[in-house]
């Protein structure tokens, strides 16, 4: 998805809202720009962060064609131990996006009200379709109207515009100064402005996400990982992907 739409803001706030419901949450920062890692490094958030930038693996086509790469990545993602793992992706459709599609239980796509945002979302959905072909219809998608100014015509029309994409629409996140301000001091919205409208928006989103994850019957990733480890052991072992806990 395009830069600046609010991916990192949603990833971090969603992860923290889930953590505030006593869920063990890890945030995987797959963006080489490391915005989420910088936010976590300020030390105020109730989540653990892992930096797994995957930008060197850039060919989308190669990712889909290489089961081995995907298996390796499944292993790497699963070294992160948490009940819910939120992955914050870089702006463009890249190896990390494809790899995440290969392992995730849900794709949350923030989408602004502009025509450019909606067209970027449509491109992301094409990639999701490729994943669904190889994962028996998984993963599900939730499109989240983001940075919406409800006073504008485009803002008010966003839900009907997004409905045409044919995927579930999550509750919207408005354009609010508190989202930008909380980020700049390393807090999530529930710390910075508890009980504010922005906090409630994020809590609603977290509820919807929990609901979808609860219904998900995606193949158990731990089984896939075990299969991958066995295959790698038989193939003589492979170096792990670069990745580190922050
Ligand atoms: N809902 C929002 N309201 C106001 N500002 C926002 C909102 N979401 C994101 N921003 C601001 O927009 C900028 C880009 O957001 P970010 O989450 O880093 O986007 P991305 O990860 O998609 O590049 C940041 O300065 C952030 O504070
Ligand atoms: Mg980002």
Which runs of E-coded beta strand occur in the chain?
A: 25-29, 48-51, 84-88, 107-111, 141-148, 173-174, 244-245
Query: Cβ(100) to ligand 1 under 6 A?
Result: no
Query: Cβ(7) to ligand 1 under 6 A?
Result: yes
CA dihedral 98, 46, 146, 102 (to 10 degrees): 10
- Could you tell me which residue, 175 or 75, shows the higher pLDDT? 175
How far is it, in rounded angstroms, from Cα 145 to Cα 205? 11
Greatest distance between any 2 Cα atoms in the chain? 60
Q: Are 25 and 47 in contact (CB under 8 A)?
A: yes
Query: Cβ(182) to ligand 1 under 6 A?
Result: no
Distance of CA 75 to the CA centre of its chain: 18
Burial of 229 per CB tally in 10 Å (0-12, 13-18, 19+)? middle
Query: Cβ(176) to ligand 1 under 6 A?
Result: yes
Identify the H or E element spanning 101: helix 95-103
Distance of CA 209 to the CA centre of its chain: 11
**Does 166 have pLDDT greater than 90?**
yes
What are 108-141's pLDDT values in tens digits?
Answer: 999 999 999 999 999 999 999 988 998 889 999 9
Distance 29 CA to ligand 2 centre (A): 9
How far is it, in rounded angstroms, from Cα 244 to Cα 246? 6
Q: Are 216 and 192 in contact (CB under 8 A)?
A: no
pLDDT for residue 97: 81
Q: Are 69 and 9 in contact (CB under 8 A)?
A: no
Lowest mean pLDDT among 10-19, 95-104, 167-176, 191-200: 95-104
Residues forming beta bridges with residue 49, ordered by sequence position: 27
pLDDT for residue 171: 87
Instruction: Name the token pair of 24.
Output: 């063990």
Query: Cβ(3) to ligand 1 under 6 A?
Result: yes
What does the pLDDT average to over 1-22? 91
Task: Grade residue 245 by pLDDT with cuts at 50, 70 and 90.
Answer: very low
How far is it, in rounded angstroms, from Cα 116 to Cα 91? 13
Pick the atom of ligand 1 nearest to 174's CA.
Answer: 1
**DSSP letter assigned to residue 213:** H
What are 15-70's pLDDT values in tens digits?
Answer: 999 999 999 999 999 888 899 999 999 999 999 998 876 654 445 455 555 566 66
pLDDT for residue 102: 80
How far is it, in rounded angstroms, from Cα 215 to Cα 211? 6
Q: Are 141 and 101 in contact (CB under 8 A)?
A: no
Domain 7-245 has CATH 2.40.170.20: no
Query: Cβ(9) to ligand 1 under 6 A?
Result: yes
Q: Give, for ligand 1, the residue of 2, 3, 9, 200 to mutate: max count of ligand atoms closer than 8 Å to Cβ.
A: 9
List the domain boundaries for the chain.
Answer: 7-245
What does the pLDDT average to over 139-155? 93
**DSSP letter assigned to residue 239:** P
**Mean pLDDT over all residues of the chain?**
83
Q: Are 142 and 215 in contact (CB under 8 A)?
A: no
What residue owns the CA closest to ligand 1's atom 9?
Answer: 6
Query: Cβ(4) to ligand 1 under 6 A?
Result: yes
């Amino acid at each position: 998805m395009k830069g600046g739409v609010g991916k990192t803001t949603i990833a971090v706030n969603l992860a923290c809202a889930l953590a505030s419901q006593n869920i063990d949450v890890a945030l995987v920062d797959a963006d080489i720009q490391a915005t989420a890692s910088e936010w976590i490094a300020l030390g105020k958030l109730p989540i653990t962060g892992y930096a797994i930038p995957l930008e060197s693996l850039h060919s989308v086509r190669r990712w889909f064609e290489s089961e081995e790469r995907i298996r390796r990545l499944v292993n790497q993602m699963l070294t992160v131990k948490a009940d819910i793992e939120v992955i914050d992706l870089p702006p463009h459709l890249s190896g990390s996006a494809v790899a995440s599609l290969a392992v995730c239980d849900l794709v949350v796509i923030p989408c602004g009200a502009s025509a450019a945002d909606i067209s970027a979302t449509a491109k992301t959905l094409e990639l999701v379709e490729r994943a669904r072909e190889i994962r028996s219809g998984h993963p599900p998608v939730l499109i989240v109207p983001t940075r919406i100014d409800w006073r504008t015509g485009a803002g008010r029309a966003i839900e009907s515009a997004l409905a045409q994409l044919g995927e579930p629409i999550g509750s919207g996140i408005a354009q609010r100064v508190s989202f930008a301000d909380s980020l700049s001091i390393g807090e999530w919205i529930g710390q910075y402005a508890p009980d504010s409208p922005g906090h409630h928006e994020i809590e609603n989103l977290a509820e919807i996400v929990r609901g979808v994850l609860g219904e998900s019957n995606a193949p158990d990733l731990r089984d896939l990982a075990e299969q991958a480890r066995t295959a790698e052991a038989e193939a003589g072992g492979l170096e792990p992907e670069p990745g580190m806990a922050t």
